[in-house]
Structure 1
Amino acid sequence: MRADAKKNRSQILNVARDALTEHGTDASMRDIARRAGVGLATLLRHFPTREALFEALLCTNLDALTQKADELETSTSADKALLTWFRELVAFAQSYRGVIAMMAAAHTNPDSALYASCAAVHSAGAQLLLRAQGEGMARADMNGDDLFALITALGWAVDQPSFAPRADHLVHLVTSAILTNPSSGDIEKQRAEADR
C-alpha cells in the first residue's frame, strides 16, 4: 500500500473511532469521509461497507475479548472466569452504541465482515460456559447460543439511556441466573467493586 493510501486509511480509522464513540453505529459514512479529509469514494475504496469499516475498528477489541477468555479459562475458577468475561463484553458493548445489534446480526452471517471476530467471541464464551457447567457452577440447560443471546439482550438494554444507569444491577441479575454456585461470593464482590 502506498504511503498516502496508508495515511488516508489511518486517518479514516481515527475519525471513524471518534464518530463511533459519539454517534454509535449510525455514524454517517459521508461525515466520516468529510472529517477525515477524504472523498467518500476514497473511504469506500478502503472500506466498501459500513460493516467492513466497523470490523477494522472493532476486531482488535473483539480479538482481545477472545484472548481474555483464553487467559481466564486457565487462570481462575470457572464461575469467576465466566463472570469476569461476561462483564468485560458488556462493558465493550456499552463503549460503542449500537455495536451489539451489529454483532448479533453478524455472528451467524458468514458474508458479514464481522463474522469471524463475532464467531470467535461466541465460541470463547461458549467454552467458558462449558467449563462452568462441567464443574457444576452454571445452569446445565443452556448453551453458547443462549449465552450470546443473553449478552445481546443485556447489551441492547444498557445501550438505552433509561437502562444504562442500572447496567451493573442488570449484569448481576443475568449472571445470577446463569451461575448456580458462585464461589465465595464472587458475584456480590464484583458487584460491589463495580458500584464504586
Structure 2
Amino acid sequence: MTTSPPGCRPETPKDQKPRLRADAQRNRDRLAAVAAEAFSENGSGASLEDIARRAGVGIGTLYRHFPTREHLVEVVYRRELELLSIAADELSHREASDKALEEWMHRFVSYMATKRGMASSLKLLVTSNSCMFTDGAALLRNALNDLLQKAVADGTVRSDMETEDVLHALSSIYSIPDTPEWRKRAHRLIDLLMDGLRRPKLG
C-alpha cells in the first residue's frame, strides 16, 4: 500500500476531477506534450499562445484546461516523471541491463531540459505543492534504483555505488551553464558516468 509522505494529504474522491470527454482529454494530453517540447526548446521564453498554436487549439482551450502557467507546469512536470518511470520499465525488458541504465540516463537529460525551462514556475509551486516534488523524487529514485539493481545483479556495473550516489551525479547536470552546448556536455557527462559505473570485462 502506498502512503503519502509526512505532511502530504492523500487524494480523496472529493478531490478528483470529473472524467473528461475523449476529445477534451486528447486536447489536454496534446497541450501537455507540446508544452514539454516548448519548455525544453525555449525555456521560460515559451509562450502559452505559441503552445496553444502548436497544439492546434485556441488559447481559450488552453486556459480551460490550465487556468495559469503554473497549472500547466505542474501537469508537465508530473508527465515527464511518469514518462521516465515508464521508460525504465520498458528499457529493462528490451535492453541488456547496463544498456537500459545508460539509455535511461540519456533520456534523463531531456527531462532536465524541460525542467530547466520551467524553473521559475516550479519555484512558485514549491511552497504551494511540496508533495508534488516529494512524490516526484520518489518516482525518479525508484525508476533509477530498479535499473541500477538489475545491472548490479547481472554483474555489468559496480556494486559499490548506491542509487543516491548516481542520482546526485545525474542531478548535477542541472547546474551546467545554460549555453547552446549544454545538452552535448550533459550527454558527455552521462557517458563518463557510465564508464565509471561499468565493470571492466575480463579476458
Q: Which TM bucket (shorter chain)?
A: 0.5 to 0.7
Q: Decide whether the 8 Å contact of 1:100 with 1:156 is kept in 2.
A: no
Percent identity between the two aligned chains:
32
Distance in 1 of aligned mates of 2:97 and 2:37: 36
Question: Are 1:71 and 2:97 counterparts?
Answer: no
> Could you tell me the TM-score, scaled by structure 1's length?
0.60
Q: Which string of whole-angstrom CA distances, capped at 9 and with x for unpartnered residues, describes residues 72-116 of structure 1? A: 22333221111111111113323x2615968x9899x97243543
Separation in 2, partners of 1:158, 1:55: 24
Residues 84 and 108 of structure 2 are in contact (CA less than 8 Å); yes or no, is this contact kept in structure 1? yes
TM-score, normalised by the number of residues in structure 2: 0.59
- 2:39 and 2:118 in contact (8 A); partners too: no
Unaligned stretches of 5+ in structure 1?
185-196
* Root mean square deviation of aligned Cα: 4.4
- 2:198 is aligned with 1:180: yes
Distance 2:97 2:30 in 1: 41
Matches of residues 29-178 of structure 1 in structure 2 within 5 Å?
47=66, 51-94=70-113, 96=114, 98=116, 111-136=130-155, 137-143=157-163, 145-157=164-176, 159-177=178-196
Aligned length: 177
- Distance change in 2, residues 1:132/1:165 (3 Å): closer
For residues 167 and 55 of structure 1, do their structure 2 counterparts lie closer, same or farther at Cα, with a shift above 3 Å needed? same
| Higher mean C-alpha deviation, range 110-119 or range 129-138 | 110-119
| 1:109-160 per-position Cα deviation (integer Å, ceiling 9, x unaligned) | 97243543443122101111122223332341322x2222222112442744
Distance 1:162 1:90, change over 3 A: closer
Specify whether residues 72 and 140 from structure 1 end up closer, same or farther in structure 2 by C-alpha distance, changes over 3 A only: same
Q: How far did 1:161 drift?
A: 3.1
CA contact (8 A) 2:40 2:110 kept: no
Q: Distance in 1 between matches of 2:161 and 2:30?
A: 47
Q: What is the aligned partner in structure 1 of residue 7 from structure 2?
A: none
Alpha carbons of 1:19 and 1:69: their partners in 2 closer, same or farther (altered >3 Å)? closer
Structure 2 unaligned segments of length 5 or more: list them. Answer: 1-19
Relative contact order, higher structure (CA 8 A, sep 6+): 2
Residue pair 2:49, 2:59 contacting (<8 A) in 1 also: no
* 1-structure distance, mates of 2:68, 2:148: 33
Q: Determine the structure 1 residue equivalent to 2:9.
A: none
CA–CA separation in structure 1 for the residues paired with 2:171 and 2:118: 6
